[in-house]
Amino acid sequence: MYTFQFERAADAKAAVARLKADPDAKFLGGGQSLLAAMKLRLASPSVLVDVVRIPGMAEIRVENNEIVVGAAARHADVEANAEVRQRIPALAALAGGIGDRQVRAMGTLGGALANDDPAACYPAGVLGLGATVVTDRRTIAADDFFKGLYETALEPDELITAVRFPIPDQAAYVKFRNPASRFALVGVMVARTGNAVRVAVTGAGDSVFRCQPLEQALAGDFSAQAARGVKIDASSLNTDLHASAQYRAHLIPVLAARAVEEAVKG
């Protein structure tokens, strides 16, 4: 019979040391993805090392022109945080649109990023806002973090401790949600800072990606009309039981246009 141990880490160093000592041990965030994988026998860690009660890991603070969100911050905490709502309302709205109340009460930013589900919302927020992932040993730019299907730049024993989100001039995240799971069939984050525009798309490929054609069009003309005029190549997009690649390609500029409208409204 499969059994596992549960341990609560006192600090980041102890959590990492536990995984270094036992390669079958895993960090536990809110458990919203990992416990489901364990129930399906897709994962069978020897030890679950709970990292959500590490002092300071759930803290959200403003530093210079960034909001620093602790990796153990729950989605509901990010949604409700006054600084996030005021300075990056798109991020608060993204967190508030994840799953359902229970998922938002338990799921964490760090867990969502480490999991890197191809239809998850936070990867689009992190990549679209050009954030920096902070771990126990280094910082990783969002552009270098997401590597493929459920694959990130993290080492197996590397702990995400926080994410630094630069505050954009205007931003919005819009997703076409799967009505059952609420994951993104396609989700688009648009962020403008000065003349630079970043557009990140989730739900459409193996992993979140930046959409250059939309970024170029919107850098020249930050309008919904400019977004709607962009044609997206469907050849590298996903087809599954929910939608064809062509349908996803159609959705990307439509959602980007809605995101621009929301971003401009503020």
Ligand X SMILES: Cc1cc2nc3c(=O)[nH]c(=O)nc-3n(C[C@H](O)[C@H](O)[C@H](O)COP(=O)(O)OP(=O)(O)OC[C@H]3O[C@@H](n4cnc5c(N)ncnc54)[C@H](O)[C@@H]3O)c2cc1C
Contact residues toward ligand X (CB under 6 A) are 26-34, 36, 51, 71, 98-99, 103, 106-108, 110-112, 114-115, 117, 120-122, 159-160, 181-183
CB of 103 to ligand X, least distance (A): 4
- Using alpha carbons, list the distances in angstroms from residue 5 to 44, 46, 47, 141: 11, 6, 5, 33
Closer to ligand X by Cβ: residue 142 or 230: 142
Q: How far is CA 79 from the centre of its chain?
A: 14
Q: Closest approach of Cβ 17 to ligand X, in Å?
A: 14
Cβ closer to ligand X: 107 or 130?
Answer: 107
Please identify, using beta-carbon distances, which residue of 107 and 128 lies nearer to ligand X: 107
Q: Decide: helix, strand or coil at residue 112.
A: helix
Closest separation between CB of residue 70 and ligand X, Å?
9
In the sheet with 160-166, reading across from the earlier edge strand, the strands are 60-63, 66-70, 160-166, 132-135, 139-141
Q: In terms of DSSP bridges, do strands 47-50 and 139-141 run parallel, antiparallel, or are they unpaired?
A: unpaired
Nearer to ligand X, 153 or 219 (CB): 153
We find the least distance from the C-beta atom of residue 223 to ligand X, in angstroms, to be 28
CA distances from 235 to 121, 203, 212, 232, 247 (A): 23, 15, 15, 9, 12
Q: Which is nearer to ligand X, 186 or 230 (CB)?
A: 186
- Measured from the CB of residue 194, what is the shortest distance to ligand X in angstroms? 28
CA pair distance 224, 253, nearest whole angstrom: 9
